[in-house]
Amino acid sequence: MSTPRRILVYGVYGAGKSTLAARLADHLGVPWYPVDDLVWQPGWVEVPVAQQRVRIEEVCRRDRWILDGAYHGWRDVPLGRADLVVGLDYPRWRSFWRLLRRTARRLLTREEICNGNRESLGSVLSHDSILVWHLAAFGGVRRRMRAWRADPSMPPVLLFDSPAALDDWLAGLPRG
């Protein structure tokens, strides 16, 4: 496989999509477009799905990009242009532990996530909590990634079930 120029990083909340996208961008010299910046406005107001789609289409028309997620309202757009899908197919315990650790850190440090948004104790304890989203989405995300990998009409899909396997693959990628 030649060096990918259009990469979709996919996985459940907390698996490490953004961290991997940043690493890939640095390693390959391909621009990364954080999905959270494209879909959330200040105050955790979601951008309307039609507008999200327009933003994603704009990114995906470019020759080189990395996206760190794909939501149902526009998932077809990056899948239709990607050279490669990198799926973080970690066990539930690993991705949930990462998410829990990251969420606690963000609560303590008041780290900005996107567009001025931050985690709050209220949001973490609510029914819309990212922790709840993880639990609800895990099985569907896993089935979707595995179905993509089995579908010959899809771009190549690499699934990694451990950080060590991912690191080995990254070490073998040529630098951009």
Query: Is the whole-model pTM more than 0.75?
Result: yes
Helix, strand counts (H, E) of the chain = 8, 9
Domain ranges of the chain: 6-171
CATH classification (class only), 6-171? alpha beta
pLDDT computed for residue 1 by the predictor: 58
Ranges of residues in the chain whose predicted pLDDT is under 70: 1
